[in-house]
Structure 1
């Protein structure tokens, strides 16, 4: 049996923020660094080649995606971005926005033909505005809400899925123990949910965050609802070892299973 090609994962976590002139500062994102390191470890255990990058400027993040176009990605390309944000953009550690439309443009078939047939999966932990669900946010990865930018992030490249930590216009929770969204993702990757098709796994993450998480203390009752956007044309299993087999090997594996009586 041939060995599967090794998929790649890019994990970017921004924790400390200050503009180049020092005039703009955003609060540090406590807990985000440890969370990203745990996710990187789990992805490595799932046979991903992981690149973990800390506190990058908007331009440096853009350059990282330019570099990804030159790598061999194997069967899947996974990105996790954890930062402050606003609708349609994530913020670099220099407090400048990197528009997601720019990232998607870099990975488009026109600019990155090598990834055209590779399923691309994004998990984005960042606020998409300042609206709150049932109260004031404990700690938010938020910049300013930019209205009328909903269609901008829908221009995703073919064969791509994007899961946001929260719905358009809303904030995303973060506390020293980590974020609701990425903690749920971490639990899924470490548990049986990793064997599910990505669409089913996303549904489980929705339920885990929306039904199982809320702020405590003075902000008791605050909630969060993730959002999943995809133009994938078939089920994919990016975190299941069995799915790393090529089609012929998968067929042989299925033939070896006992027939139902």
Structure 2
């Protein structure tokens, strides 16, 4: 009896940034690397086949999503992006923006038939504005939000849900221990919340971040509010495994990281 196809997860984490001329333009994102590795292990334990990549340029990130159009997929496609960002875009390690609308266009039913009927779930850990742009551990890399930022949501393809770490116009907190948002996601995936419908899980994440987290130091008391956007027409349970979670010592081919990882950002 053939083994059912595994759902796929693509995780991209950018921690070190330099422009094409070699100038370091943005601060390193301490804590993001370890956090992404924990997420990849948890998803592998939930029977996902995980592809984890570090420090990719905007163009390389775009190509990665194009490659998903020719992959074999199970019931779900999950993608986590952890990087600097601005409203409507995430930044590659070359400091260049990749518009989220471009990613959604690549994975649309017209361009990616293999994922047309499969739920696609995105978690975006990146700034969406400069409202918190002076903190030591705040990702303060973008300008003011665009007046028509809501139009970005119109590009989300059918059967897609996107959860942002913060609301439009605001920054996303990160410190060496990790980010408020992805730490809450890790706790949910490792706990009972993983059995919930995605919309209910997102509500729990909102509460965990908005009510249970706050900045310290110079920004003592500052808060962060995630934002969940979906056009899924029904409840989905992407993290509710049919059986027991896989042992942490046996990923069953769930990782695709070996030759992909690079220590330094590449120029475009």
- Aligned match of 1:199: 199
Alpha-carbon separation, structure 1, partners of 2:179 and 2:222: 13
How big is the alpha-carbon RMSD for the aligned residues of Structure 1 and Structure 2?
1.8
- Aligned match of 1:139: 137
Q: Which moved more, 1:144-153 or 1:163-172?
A: 144-153
Listed as ranges, the gaps of 5+ residues in structure 2 are 244-268
Q: Which moved more, 1:48-57 or 1:147-156?
A: 147-156
Listed as ranges, the gaps of 5+ residues in structure 1 are 244-261
Contact 1:7 1:74 in 2 (8 A): yes
Alpha-carbon separation, structure 2, partners of 1:45 and 1:54: 21
Mark the structure with the bigger radius of gyration: 1
Q: CA deviation at 1:151?
A: 0.8
1:92 aligns with 2:65: no
- Aligned match of 1:236: 236
Task: Please state whether the residue corresponding to 2:161 is helix, strand or coil.
Answer: strand
Q: CA deviation at 1:137?
A: 3.7
- Aligned match of 1:189: 189
Task: Please state whether the residue corresponding to 2:138 is helix, strand or coil.
Answer: coil
1:6 aligns with 2:6: yes
The CA deviation string for residues 135-169 of structure 1, in whole angstroms up to 9 with x for no partner, is: 95442333223412321243101000000000001
- Aligned match of 2:220: 220
Alpha-carbon separation, structure 2, partners of 1:218 and 1:152: 32
1:79 aligns with 2:68: no
TM-score normalized by the length of structure 2 = 0.86
Matches for 1:122-137 after TM superposition, within 5 Å: 122-132=122-132, 137=135
Q: CA deviation at 1:73?
A: 1.2
Alpha-carbon separation, structure 2, partners of 1:4 and 1:229: 30
Alpha-carbon separation, structure 1, partners of 2:71 and 2:161: 20
Matches for 1:19-98 after TM superposition, within 5 Å: 19-23=19-23, 25-98=25-98
Contact 1:137 1:222 in 2 (8 A): no
Q: CA deviation at 1:72?
A: 1.0
- Aligned match of 2:250: none
Contact 1:140 1:173 in 2 (8 A): yes
Matches for 1:102-113 after TM superposition, within 5 Å: 102-113=102-113
